[in-house]
Amino acid sequence: MNRNPVIPFILIMLMGVGLIFFMSAHGANKGEEEGGDGAKTEQKFDAKTFAKDNCTSCHGQNLEGAMGPKLAGISDTEKAKKIIREGKGAMPAHDQSKISDKDLDTLVKYLKDAK
């Protein structure tokens, strides 16, 4: 009796596709099961993390100044907010889509208190 060698491969592929479909459908409802309505929760702003991710490459690991000026212990908070929002020289601007006004206030307070 001659068996077709393609049939086992087709069956394995169909089982794999079925498994992928089942796992995808199961995962789509996971947010509702674990988090209530599945809505995304707003992350709490962390000024230290924001500064580490966005400032230290130019202003130094401890914000002591490097390519950019020293940020630790800034005194003129309004000027700092303006520069962060509008940018200056090589400093890029960070608009509302990057950091909200409330988070900007938190960041500037963090920079002012940094030693």
Q: Write the pLDDT tens digit of every residue in 66-83.
A: 999 999 999 999 999 999
Distance CA 11, CA 34 (A): 34
Please indicate if the annotation marks 94 as binding a ligand.
no
Please indicate if the annotation marks 67 as binding a ligand.
no
- pTM more than 0.85: no
**pLDDT higher than threshold 70 for residue 34:** no
**pLDDT higher than threshold 90 for residue 111:** yes
In a domain, 58, yes or no: yes
Please indicate if the annotation marks 91 as binding a ligand.
yes
Domain that holds residue 108: 47-113
Contact 73, 83 (CB under 8 A): no
Give the count of beta carbons closer than 10 Å to the beta carbon of residue 22: 10
Instruction: Give the number of residues written for the chain.
Output: 115
In a domain, 39, yes or no: no
What pLDDT does residue 23 have?
A: 84
In a domain, 2, yes or no: no
Please indicate if the annotation marks 13 as binding a ligand.
no
Contact 84, 99 (CB under 8 A): yes
**Number of folded domains in the chain?**
1
Residue 98, domain CATH:
1.10.760.10
In a domain, 26, yes or no: no
| Mean pLDDT taken over the chain | 87
